[in-house]
Amino acid sequence: MNPQTWFITGASSGLGEAIAHSALRAGHRVAVTARDNARLERLVVHYPKHVLALSMDLAKPAEIKAAVTDAEDWHGGIDVLVNNAAIGYAAAIEEGEEQKIRALFDTNFFGVAATIRAALPKMRARAAGVIINVSSMSGLVSFPGLGYYSATKFALEGLNDALAQEVGPLGIKVMSIEPGGMRTGIVGRNLRSPEIDDYAPTAHAILNMIRNDTEGVYAPSDINLIGDLLVRMVNSGDLPLRLSLGGDSWSAIMAKLDSLRAEYERYKDEAYSTQFS
């Protein structure tokens, strides 16, 4: 297997760092990004010849273009792009604050789209490349208190589907991964807003359950196993359009699909009733 160049956003901790370690152990080169590249020092120390640490803020398009260009110049191109960086926002819909909502979309959706656009020209020129977008089970199943976060991931799922159809004929593979709960520490870093008491039984109940999960009951997936799996799948070339990760993700998505089909089937006659006779 020839060494590949991976480009992983948000690699200073959590899933991004785990994927980086997996790719490096497999003998690949990895360009990693964080808003502060000093936070990437652990990777640089362990793999000084195989890691390129880059500063990149997904809310700043100029930094995205510069980082992608640096990674492409490093060893002749990006073979695997992993859009991992994201932030969370814990709030009922009414509790949402404009500035935080826009910051969430800037990172979780607009920044991802900009990174893809920056990487595609060189991938198209080589007629090769893999793009892995880190979505979430919340990209298909929305929960009280996580509506804005889910909205960013729903948007990413839509982009992923169209992108795969556009670039598949050009030799570029696209996959969305949909993890359930992972032990990454992201819950403690979630953006938050002042709470409205009326949402205590719904949004706040879900959020408190997650925040107080000291035993990891609601974060059952091992990020290191996810990293190793993704490297194996990229190596095999067998990449589905979307991949559920974790038993909690699988169960929630299957239940949602069953519910959607039942609801649409129930109102099939109403759907057809609006057509011209």
Active site residues: 135, 149, 153
The string over 136-161, giving b where at least 16 C-beta atoms fall within 10 Å of a residue's C-beta and e elsewhere, is bbbbbbbbebbbbbbbbbbbbbebbe
- Report long-range pairs for 255-259 (Cβ below 8 Å, ≥24 apart): 255/141, 256/140, 256/141
How far apart, in whole angstroms, are the C-alpha atoms of residue 119 and residue 163? Answer: 13
- CA–CA gap between residue 252 and residue 248 (Å, rounded): 6
Tokens of 143: 């929960």
For residues 133 and 111, the answer to whether their CB atoms sit within 8 Å is no
